[in-house]
Amino acid sequence: MHGIDPKILEQLKEKFDDMGQDVNAHLKGLLENTPITYWDYIQTDALLGLQIQRTRWPDEMVFIVYHQINELLFKMILWEIEQVAFKEDLTTTFFADRLDRISRYFDMLTSSFEIMGEGMEVEQYMKFRHTLTPASGFQSAQYRMVEFASTELINLIDIRFRATIDRDTPFSHAYDHLYWQAAGKDHKTGEKSTLIRLFDERYMEDFITFMKRYNTHNIALKFKSLPEEDQKDIKLINAMRHYDHTVNVQWVMAHYNTAGHYLDGGKEKAEATGGSDWRKYMHPKYQKRIFFPFLWSDEEIKDWGITNLEGHKQIVSLDDLS
């Protein structure tokens, strides 16, 4: 038996005194507590009860679980971004370390596409995918939030409209000209597809609130707000570039190639479940989705998404950016 450390009791008393609470009431509560278990802490039963198939095809379970794992990773990414975005005493070391964490999460997302690309039968997917219409992975709200929190809003505007939008543009107008809006609009009539309309109804207000919150706290502006000398930190610049390329080229292209495997690999050519022109919407060379364009050379930007760019390759000096 171990004796009770009086120092710990005193610290507990000070803690609860500061909260205006009676430490004895909390200690009595410990008498009624049950030991924590792994399954209670992780909420395993609740987590494993979230996979509801809509068809009889076994590979639909792979599809559901895979996308739920993606959403959990997006949550982890947003958690890390928030720590950088709202940290007052931000250092280059903390900044770079958190970006490296995020890049590892996206590295995991990128490599995991083998589960989708090789882990389902095309014939099964082409059967159960029809039950998804008009849903689409496009409708991942957390991924859109990752984008909003990472870069200045102008870099997410459809490239055709960037010259007409600035920081004084109303958020609602900017929202309607985001690059991914092009995936679900009839540009002759301006009418939105069901894919976009449902997405807007569910998330537009939340997105605009989130956009406003990160308007001056996104990763790009946090970097620009650092002291000039800190902005020359090679480790941080490399972390920024690696994150940018990992998200906007490597992960996107893994998604693009997997979509092609199923949609072009079936007996008949197929559209995305949301009805979008997924090839032009997804391929990075069309929209030039770049979080930190100020950290890439003109040549690298011109070839964005066309060649490998070795975007994850570390630069060794600031001269490499010129």
* DSSP-assigned states of every residue in 206-249: HHHHHHHHHTTTSHHHHHHTS-TTGGG-HHHHHHHHHHHHIIII
pLDDT > 90: what percent of the chain?
A: 59
* pLDDT for 108: 92
The answer to whether 75 and 145 are in contact (CB under 8 A) is: no
Q: How confident is the model at residue 64 (pLDDT cuts 50, 70, 90)?
A: very high
DSSP class of 88: T
Mean pLDDT of 178-196: 81
d(CA 118, CA 298): 37
With 70 as the cut, is the pLDDT of residue 168 above it?
A: yes
Q: Give the mean pLDDT of the chain.
A: 87
d(CA 89, CA 154): 27
Q: How confident is the model at residue 57 (pLDDT cuts 50, 70, 90)?
A: very high
The answer to whether 84 and 222 are in contact (CB under 8 A) is: yes
Positive or negative torsion for Cα 253, 258, 260, 263? negative
Q: 93-103, pLDDT tens digit by residue?
A: 999 999 999 99
d(CA 196, CA 87): 34
CA distances from 301 to 63, 257, 308 (A): 34, 21, 12
- Three-class SS state of 290: coil
d(CA 98, CA 109): 17
- Three-class SS state of 192: strand
The answer to whether 193 and 275 are in contact (CB under 8 A) is: yes
CA distances from 311 to 80, 244, 267 (A): 22, 8, 36
Rounding to the nearest 10 degrees, give the CA dihedral for residues 289, 145, 137, 193: -80
Q: 265-294, pLDDT tens digit by residue?
A: 544 455 544 444 556 667 787 778 999 999
Beta-carbon count within 10 A of 301 CB: 12
* pLDDT for 280: 63
Q: How confident is the model at residue 190 (pLDDT cuts 50, 70, 90)?
A: confident
Mean pLDDT of 151-178: 92
pLDDT > 70: what percent of the chain?
A: 89
Q: Is 262 left (phi over 0), alpha (psi -120 to 50) or beta?
A: alpha
Which burial class, exposed, middle or buried, applies to 245 when counting CB atoms under 10 A from its CB (0-12, 13-18, 19+)? Answer: buried
d(CA 249, CA 267): 29
d(CA 66, CA 71): 9
pTM of the model: 0.86
The answer to whether 219 and 291 are in contact (CB under 8 A) is: yes
Beta-carbon count within 10 A of 28 CB: 10
Phi, psi of 157 (to 5 degrees): -80, 140
Q: Please report where in the chains the tokens 């920081």 appear, as a residue.
A: 167
* pLDDT for 137: 78
* pLDDT for 284: 80
* pLDDT for 286: 79
The token pair at 162 is: 């960037």
The answer to whether 105 and 76 are in contact (CB under 8 A) is: yes
